[in-house]
Structures are given as C-alpha cells and as structure tokens.
C-alpha cells in the first residue's frame, strides 16, 4: 500500500483512528495502574472522559485530511509511546503518554492544519501530566511548603520551627520531600480548572484568576495536610501512615476539588444572573 492510499484509508475510516486512540489510552491507563499511582489513575480517567465527551459533541464536524509529513510525525509519536510501554522506561514520562498519544493520532487523522479541531482535547490532556513533569525538572516547592505549614502551626499556637524542608515540633518532626510538596494537587486542580474553563467557559477577564485560584488552593490544602501530618508524627504513627500514603491521603485532594467546583459553580451562577438582569427590560 503506497502513501496516498494509506492516507486515503485514514481519511475515510475514522473508526480505525478511534480504535488506535482507544488502544493507546488503554495502554496508558494500564501503565498508570501498574505503577500503583491511584491518584493519577483517577485523574487520567476523569480527563479522558472529558475529552471523550468533547469529541462526541463535535463528531459530525470533524474533517480527516492529512499529509505525508504529519503522518510520519504522528507515527513517530505513537511509536515512542509504544516503545516506552514495551520497555517500561516510563518514570516521569508516564504522565506524558496520554497527551503524546492524542497528539500522534490527531496528526494521523487531520494533519498539522487540522490540529485546531482538537485544541480543546489536546489542551486538557496537556494539563493532565505535562505541568507536573515540567515542575519536577525545574523547581521544588518543598522548602516553601515546609515554611507555610510551619506558619499555619505557629498561628494555631504550636511550638514549631522549620529548618530547610524539616518541620520540628516538641514531640516529633517530619521532612517535606518533593512528593509531599503539593505539586500533584496543584497540577491536578489546575488541570480541572482547564476542563471547567473549556467545557463551561466564563468571562475572559476571570479565566486567569480561576487558574491562579486553583494553584493557590492546591498549595494551601496540601500545606494544611503537611501541618496535620507534623502533628500526627509524634502522636499517632498509625494515623500518620494512613494520612501520608494510605487511602485517607486522597481526602485532601477531594476536598480541594470540591472547593474549586463550588467556587466555579458560583461564578457560573453569577454570570447567569448578570445575563438575566441585562436581558430583563427595565420597569417604567
């Protein structure tokens, strides 16, 4: 089969493109599950449901027309994902696989010019994992998280001191390592903010503020968690283990998501009320 007939096949057979995308995302989810990363697994499913819903809504408007170069680039990206999964050489690249898979299939389906059809889905999957990988390579929030957690404890009246990434209390101390710095909660809330802004858009003047609020909320909630862990470290080791790495540790992420959701729903309601007031004729 030559290149032209191959491109024609992809153009007239979107079902196969969907099958390729589904197979790749199934591989990504399986790898996350095998890595025992429950938090990222739940976020992966949530983000994929969001992108699937968006694609379903626009399914009749999509055009499939690609070229040789974008097809080659798409195949290379898909090959990289398969190579990573086959060699289990994932590490932090694990969080890049869903976005890379989606980008590769999009290029196979519609080429470079057609990527704009999938900008909503691609940006959502971009924020699923790319920011956390970039953050891991560029900076560490651990010292800032330790200081802020110590500040919370100090305001609550505890005798606390902070040295580097260590929070010291009279009955014990903890070290705030990178995994506990709050990067995951921050990037997940930021990603959920992106989903909300894409699927339920609000005024442009508020969008940046919503993203900033999500970042601050994630950092604050995690700092509260670290402060609580510092108190548990010298008082209740069983509770410390559960809230540090057990199922209870996900409660804080859930709380952050619920708070963000409530605030965003309020903003949507506020804009709806403003729109009604504008449309309502003034009484004479």
Chain mean position to CA 154: 32
Exposed (0-12), middle (13-18) or buried (19+): which is 123, by Cβ within 10 Å? Answer: middle
Helix spans in the chain (H): 3-12, 14-34, 38-57, 68-87, 97-110, 119-138, 142-155, 183-199, 204-233, 237-245, 250-279
Q: Are strands 161-163 and 166-169 parallel, antiparallel or unpaired?
A: antiparallel
What is the mean pLDDT, run by run of 10 residues, along the chain of 284 residues?
49 71 89 82 91 89 86 93 78 84 91 90 93 87 92 91 89 85 90 94 91 94 90 74 66 90 94 78 52
Question: Which residues, other chains included, contact 37 with Cβ-Cβ below 8 Å and sequence gap of 6+?
Answer: 94
pTM for this structure?
Answer: 0.86
pLDDT at 13: 58
* Euclidean distance between CA atoms 35 and 28, whole angstroms: 11
* Euclidean distance between CA atoms 125 and 102, whole angstroms: 8
pLDDT at 91: 63
Residue whose tokens read 């289990």: 88
C-alpha distances out from residue 59 to 8, 52, 109, Å: 19, 10, 13
pLDDT at 246: 59
Exposed (0-12), middle (13-18) or buried (19+): which is 182, by Cβ within 10 Å? Answer: buried
Q: What is the DSSP string of 3-51?
A: HHHHHHHHHH-HHHHHHHHHHHHHHHHHHHHHTT-HHHHHHHHHHHHHH
pLDDT at 229: 87
pLDDT at 10: 47
pLDDT at 284: 46
Question: Which residues, other chains included, contact 122 with Cβ-Cβ below 8 Å and sequence gap of 6+?
Answer: 99, 102, 103, 106, 115
For the chain, give every domain's residue range: 3-129, 142-277
Q: Are strands 172-175 and 161-163 parallel, antiparallel or unpaired?
A: unpaired
Exposed (0-12), middle (13-18) or buried (19+): which is 93, by Cβ within 10 Å? Answer: middle
Phi, psi for residue 36 in degrees, rounded to 5: 60, 40
pLDDT at 215: 94
* Count of Cβ atoms closer than 10 Å to residue 251 Cβ: 11
* Euclidean distance between CA atoms 128 and 142, whole angstroms: 21
pLDDT at 11: 47
């Amino acid at each position: 089969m030559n290149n032209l007939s191959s491109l024609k096949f992809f153009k007239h057979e979107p079902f196969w493109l969907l099958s390729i995308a589904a197979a790749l995302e199934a591989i990504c989810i399986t790898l996350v599950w095998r890595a025992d990363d429950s938090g990222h697994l739940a976020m992966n499913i949530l983000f994929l449901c969001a992108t699937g819903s968006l694609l379903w809504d626009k399914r009749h408007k999509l055009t499939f027309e690609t070229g040789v170069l974008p097809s080659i680039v798409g195949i290379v990206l898909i090959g990289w994902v398969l190579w990573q999964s086959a060699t289990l050489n994932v590490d932090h690249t694990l969080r890049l696989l869903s976005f890379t898979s989606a980008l590769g299939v999009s290029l196979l389906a519609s080429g470079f010019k057609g990527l704009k059809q999938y900008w909503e889905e691609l940006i959502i999957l971009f924020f699923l994992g790319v920011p956390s990988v970039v953050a891991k390579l560029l900076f560490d929030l651990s010292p800032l998280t330790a200081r802020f957690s110590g500040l919370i404890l100090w305001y609550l009246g505890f005798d606390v001191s902070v040295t580097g990434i260590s929070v010291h209390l009279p009955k014990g101390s903890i070290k705030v390592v990178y995994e506990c710095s709050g990067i995951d909660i921050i990037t997940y809330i930021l990603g959920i903010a992106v989903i909300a802004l894409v699927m339920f858009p609000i005024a442009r003047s508020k969008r940046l503020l919503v993203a900033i609020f999500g970042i601050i909320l994630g950092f604050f909630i995690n700092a509260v968690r670290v402060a609580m862990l510092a108190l548990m470290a010298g008082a209740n080791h069983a509770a410390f283990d559960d809230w540090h790495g057990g199922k209870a540790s996900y409660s804080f992420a859930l709380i952050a998501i619920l708070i963000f959701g409530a605030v965003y729903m309020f903003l949507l309601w506020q804009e709806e009320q403003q729109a009604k007031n504008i449309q309502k004729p003034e009484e004479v």
